[in-house]
């Protein structure tokens, strides 16, 4: 499902089931020692996806290691990638996905996946500005109208933007610090902009897709070496 959302320099691998036991490297095993089985499975499978994506991207430190490199979270939970690589990971019920790219080609990369289900009562009011709420089609607040749950899609786009922005900025944002606008009422996918309102601000761009009861949003910003538009 993910490939259609990715600009040329970005490689993504997703999974709808879990990888077999034993895909974690020893340093990763240590991170999830003693955690619940579900958390361990998502942690392992998304790293399996990430290593497949890194292999597809090719080259770089650690790419020749038979089992690949360990992808360890730092103190903020941000995954560490091999030098010269940017990446992001997400997991939600029944779905895991990882995206990677070379740093000169892509400056910011973030992915989020969510179930295509309405947000709980009151959450939209917390995460969305009045302008964002006004832009949601009435029928699609919390689903209905034959389309996706656009309240959840808004949440998903904000999380993808946050994951693209945080590893570089290292500043925690509130949901109202990122203003998202979508390019239209498309039924199963489209583009969005996410304006970060912190410091000098930053405009991030992304794409979203829907299918199989899932929403996926990817933010990918061109790096210095990228001349292509996407």
**Rounded to the nearest whole angstrom, what is the least distance from the CB of residue 111 to ligand COA in the complex?**
7
Q: 18 or 159: whose CB is closer to ligand COA?
A: 159
3-class state of residue 148 by DSSP: coil
**Rounded to the nearest whole angstrom, what is the least distance from the CB of residue 13 to ligand COA in the complex?**
14
Q: Which residues contact 105 (CB under 8 A, 6 or more apart)?
A: 9, 222, 223, 225, 226
What are the distances in angstroms from CA 80 to CA 104, 114, 217? 17, 23, 21
Q: 140 or 180: whose CB is closer to ligand COA?
A: 180
Q: 43 or 182: whose CB is closer to ligand COA?
A: 43
Q: 15 or 178: whose CB is closer to ligand COA?
A: 178
Q: 80 or 145: whose CB is closer to ligand COA?
A: 80
Which residue minimizes CB distance to ligand COA?
Answer: 77
**Rounded to the nearest whole angstrom, what is the least distance from the CB of residue 17 to ligand COA in the complex?**
16
**Rounded to the nearest whole angstrom, what is the least distance from the CB of residue 36 to ligand COA in the complex?**
13
Nearest to 12 by CA among 80, 106, 93: 106
**Rounded to the nearest whole angstrom, what is the least distance from the CB of residue 216 to ligand COA in the complex?**
10
The terminus-to-terminus CA distance of the chain in angstroms comes to 18
**Rounded to the nearest whole angstrom, what is the least distance from the CB of residue 174 to ligand COA in the complex?**
6
Angle at alpha carbon of residue 78, lines to 57 and 45, rounded to 5°: 60
What residue ranges bind ligand COA (CB under 6 A)? 43, 46, 73, 76-79, 89-91, 112, 158-159, 162-163, 166-167, 173-175, 178
Q: 109 or 140: whose CB is closer to ligand COA?
A: 109
DSSP 1-49: --GGG--TT-EEEEESSPPPTT-S-HHHHHHTTTS-HHHHHHHHHHHHH
DSSP 78-105: PBP--TTEEEEEEEETTEEEEEEEETTT
């Amino acid at each position: 499902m993910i490939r259609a959302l990715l600009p040329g320099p970005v490689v993504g691998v997703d999974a709808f089931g879990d990888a077999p036991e034993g895909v974690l490297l020893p340093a990763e095993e240590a991170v999830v020692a003693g955690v619940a089985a579900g958390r361990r499975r998502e942690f392992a499978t998304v790293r399996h996806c990430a290593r497949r994506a890194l292999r597809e991207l090719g080259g770089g430190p650690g790419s020749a290691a038979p089992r690949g490199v360990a992808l360890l979270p730092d103190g903020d939970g941000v995954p560490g990638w091999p030098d010269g690589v940017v990446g992001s990971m997400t997991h939600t019920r029944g779905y895991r996905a990882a995206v990677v790219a070379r740093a000169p080609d892509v400056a910011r990369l973030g992915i989020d996946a969510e179930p295509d289900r309405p947000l709980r009562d009151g959450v939209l009011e917390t995460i969305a500005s009045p302008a964002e709420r006004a832009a949601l089609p009435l029928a699609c607040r919390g689903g209905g109208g034959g389309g996706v749950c656009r309240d959840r899609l808004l949440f998903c786009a904000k999380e993808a933007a946050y994951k693209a922005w945080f590893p570089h900025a290292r500043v925690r944002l509130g949901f109202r610090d990122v203003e998202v606008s979508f390019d239209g009422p498309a039924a199963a996918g489209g583009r969005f902009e996410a304006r970060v309102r912190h410091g000098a601000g930053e405009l991030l761009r992304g794409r979203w897709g829907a299918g199989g009861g899932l929403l996926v949003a990817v933010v990918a910003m061109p790096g210095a070496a990228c001349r292509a538009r996407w």
